[in-house]
Amino acid sequence: MTRLLASLLLLAAGASAQPKRVLYFSHTAGFRHDSIANARELLRTLDPQRWQITASEDLALITASRLREFDAVFFFTSGELALSDAQKRDLLDYVRNGGGFGATHSASDTLYSWPEYGEMLGGYFDGHPWTQRVTLDVEEPDHTVMRGLPPSFSLVDEIYQHRAFDRARVRVLMTLDTRSVDLKANGVNRTDNDFALAWVRSYGRGRVFYTALGHFGSVFEDARVQRMLRQGLEWITGLSEADTAPRGTGPAPVIAAVAEAAQFNFAGAVSPGSLVTLFGTGLTSGSSVAAESDHIRLAGTSVLLNGVPLPLLYASPRQVNVRLPDTLPDAPELTVRAGIANSPALPLRVMPVTPGIFAVTFDRDTFTLWATGLGAVDENQRTRLLPRVTHNDVEVEVLYSGQAPGFPGLYQVNARRSNTGAVASRFGLEIGGVRTGILRP
């Protein structure tokens, strides 16, 4: 009995290890892309142990009986495919009943006369206003299909816009950074500046993944695109799980408060050149992202100061960290744009300084306070006002106060230790007559 059970377990393990079968379908009834071959070779080489790729352009494969041979279908098609009504029904039933459907680039430039296809895919091609180097925003970097991708990256491609596209029906994963293109170019049809370039959705029990990238063969040689396609293939073939619930369709974001980003002092007030934290609800559509460098958009969210986007360092549904410019406009106000929804504007009160201490580090006889909100600096990046610093309630000598090199918005204040004996206890800073809270490391 034990030997029989072991044999059954081995058989089950062997069955589960069988590669998933994928039909790469590239029938062309319109413009034919040279990159079809690049995509085919990429899919074949991603992981032959996990996926068995069958490449074909034979329309006869789109039938109920033949589709049952595959765990997923991946379209790189164009034009009005000559499918019968029965074949169209079979394809939709295949996906509705649990089949995977992946698609790239001109798969949205396909079957315009069959609205159910566009509804399943999530949208139809509506022109490509730009063919150039662009910046892409990964709107949901913690999603299964996008994990491991940077918050944004650039590449050269032909960029699609889509009609019959609705964020309420798909989960958007990647969008175009519109700062990298001319929105007044010929052929721009969307008025909401929402150019989604990758999404997922559920269709019945089926899984649908689409990316608009792929006009050039070089796109499929990009390691970031390869990662996205590999993880998309994993998901549509059932090797991973992912949420497909649409995002960004709920209440508009709301900014409840703003404060300096270190100790959260001076609610409602800001100073030029400082790091500030916005608190609120719906500030992103759901993701949380910390960036190693400034980004104008994180997790699909941007913060606008009187209409001008600001550099972001962190974004989550309830908190966003922002760097303010060295010069603030008259009557400044902040607005959060999450996806395509805008928050009500939040008026700001401007102060010359709004000091706050992030942390303290030590050297042999000195220490450094890392702070924000210390105000204007001179041509040597030193603060125009000299702060007073205390260590264990004793005022100490300040050796340097200015911008931390290479980190806009972050200040460093170097000072001598006091002779109180304790190395780390209480630290305070006052500048321009304004005090921070006491830092207790």
pLDDT band at 193 (very low <50, low <70, confident <90, very high): confident
Task: Report d(CA 206, CA 73) in Å as an integer.
Answer: 11
pLDDT digit string, tens, across residues 103-128: 999 999 999 999 999 999 999 999 99
How confident is residue 291, by pLDDT bands cut at 50, 70 and 90? confident
8-state DSSP, 78? B
How many angstroms from the chain centroid is the CA of residue 359? 29
Handedness of CA 187, 190, 195, 198 (dihedral sign): negative
Q: What is the mean pLDDT of residues 162-185?
A: 94
**Given a cut of 90, is residue 307 above it in pLDDT?**
yes
pTM reported for the whole predicted model: 0.84
Going along 145-264, which residue ranges are E strands?
A: 152-159, 162-163, 171-176, 196-203, 206-211, 254-260
The dihedrals phi and psi of 203, each to the nearest 5 degrees, come to -135, 100
CA atoms within 13 A on the CB side of 411: 33
Packed helices 35-46 and 223-236: angle between N→C axes, nearest 10 degrees: 60
Residues 270 and 260 sit within 8 Å (Cβ to Cβ): yes
In the prediction, which pLDDT does 104 show?
98
> Taking 70 as the threshold, does the pLDDT of residue 16 lie above it?
no
Statement: residue 14 has pLDDT above 50: no
Phi then psi for 333, rounded to 5 degrees?
Answer: -150, 150
Give the residue with greater pLDDT, 227 vs 247.
Answer: 227
| pLDDT for residue 441 | 80
Residue showing tokens 């990009």: 222
Q: Give the percent of the chain with pLDDT over 70.
A: 95
Percentage with pLDDT > 90 across the chain: 85
Cα–Cα distance list, 27 to 55, 77, 158, 386 (Å): 10, 5, 20, 71
The mean pLDDT of 166-170, rounded to a whole number, is 93
Cβ distance 272 to 327 under 8 Å? yes
- Identify the CA nearest to 176 among candidates 224, 208, 139: 139
Report the b/e string of 68-85 with b at 16+ CB within 10 A: eebbbbbbbbbbebebee
Please report, to the nearest 10 degrees, the dihedral formed by the alpha carbons of residues 86, 89, 90, 93 taken in order.
-160
pLDDT, position 148: 95
Q: Which of 268, 346, 349, 248 is nearest to 303 (CA)?
A: 346
Distance, CA of 319 to CA of 410 (rounded, Å): 19
| pLDDT score of 364 | 84
Model confidence at 96: pLDDT above 60: yes
Least confident range from 6-15, 92-101, 223-232, 267-276: namely: 6-15
- Asked whether the predicted pLDDT for residue 362 surpasses 70, the reply is yes
Q: Region 56-67: what's the mean pLDDT?
A: 98
Go through the chain and tell me how many residues it has: 441
Least confident of 91-100, 126-135, 190-199, 203-212: 190-199
CA distance 91 to 129: 31
Q: How big is the CA angle at 179 (ends 201 and 133), to the nearest 5 degrees? A: 80
C-alpha gyration radius of the chain: 27
Range 295-308 average pLDDT: 93
Domains of the chain, start order: 16-236 (3.40.50.880), 254-350 (2.60.40.10), 356-435 (no CATH)
d(CA 63, CA 315): 46
Q: In the predicted model, what is the mean pLDDT of residues 162-174?
A: 95
- Provide the pLDDT for residue 423: 66
Alpha-carbon span 114 to 222, nearest angstrom = 33
The residue-averaged pLDDT of 205-217 equals 98
- Averaged pLDDT of the chain: 93
Give the pairing type, strands 333-338 and 346-347: antiparallel
pLDDT digits (tens, 9 = 90+) for 393-407: 899 999 999 999 999
pLDDT reported for residue 346? 97
CA distance 274 to 404: 12
3-state class of 226 per DSSP?
helix
pLDDT of residue 8: 39
Helices (H), ranges, 47-167:
64-67, 85-96, 115-121
Q: pLDDT band at 27, cuts 50/70/90?
A: very high
Inform me whether the pLDDT recorded for 298 exceeds 90: yes
